[in-house]
Amino acid sequence: MESGHNRAARMLTRRGLLQKMLVVGAGSGLACTLGLLEMLSGCAGGDKPMAAPPRPRMRPTPTLPPRSHEARFYSHLDGGSIQCGVCWRRCVVPPGRLGFCLNKKNVDGTYYSLVYDRPAALQVDAIEKEPAFHMLPGATIFCTGTASCNNRCKFCQNWELSQYPRGQVHNLDRSVDEIVALAQEAGCDAVSFTYNEPTVFYEFMYDIAARAKEAGLWALFHTNGSMNREPMLALLEVMDAVTVDLKAFTEEFYRRVSSSSLEPVLRTLETVRGAGKHLEIVNLIIPTLNDDPDDIRRMCAWIKASLGDDVPLHFTRFFPAYKLQRLPPTPVETLEAAAAAADAEGLQYVYIGNVPGHQRNSSFCPCCGQTLISRVHFAMLDLKLDHGRCPACGHKIPGIWWD
Ligand code: SF4
């Protein structure tokens, strides 16, 4: 495996290549395929991809679109209804109707994914933007997203994609093999699934990840943690890492702000950890809604007791978005207080995100304090790990490393 320093040098070369591709690709069709190339240009608003503007509202198409794909993890009920088992909602869907996420349809007792081969966002990003800070620092990832979501978060940064059904966003027509080939063509190290909730394009995600693994790429995804255990365990067989949003530590927040539930997320975190896959957690702190210090402390204590003290935890800064325009950005002091609470509970790898240049963008050895990975926002500047260990004291750092 190449060293981190060689890797960083190669990254610079690749950045130039990708910028060149963006210009050249405009005439070749590549840029159209990618939708955009925003690599390493992270913005303070989070991992927001560029997406086509939403079209005017319209009813879901009454018939199956081309290349619809039979869904997985559903069961047949009386009267031609089905029950979807992919996420905690376990939708019961009569014939001719859609599931809650609007991405799946019951057609005469067979359940179909309507977004298979129909990505709405394809983009090359830095792996740090997931965020995944303990996985292949400086890697580039080829990200796929589709329309819709199974949550209704009022603060969603990607609402143009996630809060519209398939028929109201611009969809591309790209197969599993084409997406993996594009990832390779762009020189990416991994495929990733993000922007909207990957649970709602489970079948497409699974097949891309499986194909990418066959091609020698890594695979990861960023999820709201709503997937049920059985499909999650199947998916983890073709995934290397997962970033999970733990949006708050109260059922009330999940119900009022996300139209969702906390309990399935906690079970998902335990499932991922139990499966031995690399896990990172993101907690977006929103002023007045989930910034209660006691709740944050309880959350950190639960993470340590249930998952361990070495799971990277990212406290990220909220910026006004979607239906929460009236709230201010999270004060940096609030994020720092949350990080201090996590430290006090004994968590070893605590980061502050969406605050470019903050010291807690970087990684430090929990034993001796040595700087291990220097970052500014999503850009990795320096990598000092030695075969996954602190070069000063030898402490083993959890994660997936280059050497
Ligand atoms: S994945 Fe979609 S259809 Fe299936 S249970 Fe979840 S919301 Fe319902």
Ligand 1 contacts CB of residue 264 (under 6 A): no
Look up the domain containing 237 and give its range.
4-54+117-383
Note the pLDDT of residue 68. Answer: 80
Ligand 1 contacts CB of residue 225 (under 6 A): no
Q: Which residues contact 321 (CB under 8 A, 6 or more apart)?
A: 45, 155, 156, 157, 159
pLDDT tens, residue by residue, 237-275 = 999 999 999 999 999 999 999 999 999 999 999 999 999
Ligand 1 contacts CB of residue 317 (under 6 A): no
What is the Cα–Cα distance from 69 to 62, expressed in whole angstroms? 16
pLDDT tens, residue by residue, 68-118 = 899 999 999 999 999 999 999 999 999 999 999 999 999 999 999 999 999
* Opening angle at CA 216, ends 214 and 217, nearest 5: 105
Asked if residue 293 and residue 147 are part of one domain, the reply reads yes
How much distance in Å is there from the Cα of 284 to the middle of ligand 1?
24
Note the pLDDT of residue 403. Answer: 75
For ligand 1, atom 6, which residue shows the shortest CA distance?
87
Asked if residue 235 and residue 91 are part of one domain, the reply reads no
Note the pLDDT of residue 65. Answer: 67
The two three-digit tokens of residue 97, written as one number: 């109707």
Would you say residue 63 lies in a domain? Answer: no
Cis peptide before 131 (omega within 30 of 0): yes
165-169, 173-177, 282-286, 395-399: lowest mean pLDDT where?
A: 165-169
Please state, rounded to an integer, the average pLDDT across all residues of the chain.
Answer: 88
The two three-digit tokens of residue 268, written as one number: 């998902």
Asked if residue 127 and residue 96 are part of one domain, the reply reads no
Asked if residue 92 and residue 238 are part of one domain, the reply reads no
Asked if residue 272 and residue 244 are part of one domain, the reply reads yes
Taking residues 374-381, report their average pLDDT.
96
Q: Which atom of ligand 1 is the closest one to the Cα of 226?
A: 6
Note the pLDDT of residue 307. Answer: 98
pLDDT tens, residue by residue, 288-317 = 999 999 999 999 999 999 999 999 999 999
What is the Cα–Cα distance from 47 to 40, expressed in whole angstroms? 11
29-38, 111-120, 123-132, 190-199: lowest mean pLDDT where?
A: 29-38
How much distance in Å is there from the Cα of 199 to the middle of ligand 1?
8
Asked if residue 108 and residue 125 are part of one domain, the reply reads no
Would you say residue 396 lies in a domain? Answer: no
Taking residues 136-163, report their average pLDDT.
97
Ligand 1 contacts CB of residue 267 (under 6 A): no
Asked if residue 266 and residue 301 are part of one domain, the reply reads yes
Would you say residue 403 lies in a domain? Answer: no
**7 has a pLDDT exceeding 80:** no
Q: Secondary structure of the chain: what % helix, strand, coil (to 5)?
A: 30, 20, 45
Asked if residue 84 and residue 45 are part of one domain, the reply reads no
Indicate the top mutation candidate among 75, 82, 100 to test ligand 1's pocket, ranked by most ligand atoms within 8 A of CB: 100
Higher pLDDT pick, 119 / 45: 119
Ligand 1 contacts CB of residue 114 (under 6 A): no
Would you say residue 64 lies in a domain? Answer: no
Give the DSSP H or E segment for 7.
Answer: helix 4-28
Note the pLDDT of residue 66. Answer: 67
pLDDT tens, residue by residue, 8-67 = 434 434 444 343 333 222 223 333 333 333 332 222 233 444 444 444 444 444 467 667
Asked if residue 301 and residue 379 are part of one domain, the reply reads yes
What are the two backbone dihedrals, phi and then psi, of residue 19, each rounded to the nearest 5 degrees?
-65, -40
Asked if residue 88 and residue 220 are part of one domain, the reply reads no
Q: Could you tell me the pTM of the whole model?
A: 0.87
Note the pLDDT of residue 320. Answer: 97
Ligand 1 contacts CB of residue 90 (under 6 A): yes
What is the Cα–Cα distance from 224 to 244, expressed in whole angstroms? 6
Would you say residue 36 lies in a domain? Answer: yes
For ligand 1, atom 4, which residue shows the shortest CA distance?
84
Q: Provide the H-helix boundaries in 237-370.
A: 251-258, 262-274, 293-306, 332-345
CATH number at residue 287: 3.20.20.70
Higher pLDDT pick, 354 / 19: 354
For ligand 1, atom 2, which residue shows the shortest CA distance?
101
What is the Cα–Cα distance from 57 to 168, expressed in whole angstroms? 6
Q: pLDDT > 90: what percent of the chain?
A: 82
**How many domains are there within the chain?**
2
What are the two backbone dihedrals, phi and then psi, of residue 247, each rounded to the nearest 5 degrees?
-70, -25
Q: Which atom of ligand 1 is the closest one to the Cα of 93?
A: 3
What are the two backbone dihedrals, phi and then psi, of residue 49, each rounded to the nearest 5 degrees?
-85, 160
pLDDT tens, residue by residue, 273-296 = 999 999 999 999 999 999 999 999
Would you say residue 233 lies in a domain? Answer: yes
The two three-digit tokens of residue 47, written as one number: 């991992």
Ligand 1 contacts CB of residue 105 (under 6 A): no
How much distance in Å is there from the Cα of 104 to the middle of ligand 1?
7
3-state secondary structure 345-377: HCCCCEEEECCCCCHHHCEECCCCCCEEEEEEC
How much distance in Å is there from the Cα of 89 to the middle of ligand 1?
6
What is the Cα–Cα distance from 145 to 130, expressed in whole angstroms? 13
Would you say residue 365 lies in a domain? Answer: yes
Ligand 1 contacts CB of residue 285 (under 6 A): no
Residue count of the chain:
403
- Give strand ranges (E) for 8-98: 35-37, 69-70, 74-76, 82-84, 92-93
Q: Which atom of ligand 1 is the closest one to the Cα of 90?
A: 5
Ligand 1 contacts CB of residue 199 (under 6 A): yes
**390 has a pLDDT exceeding 70:** yes
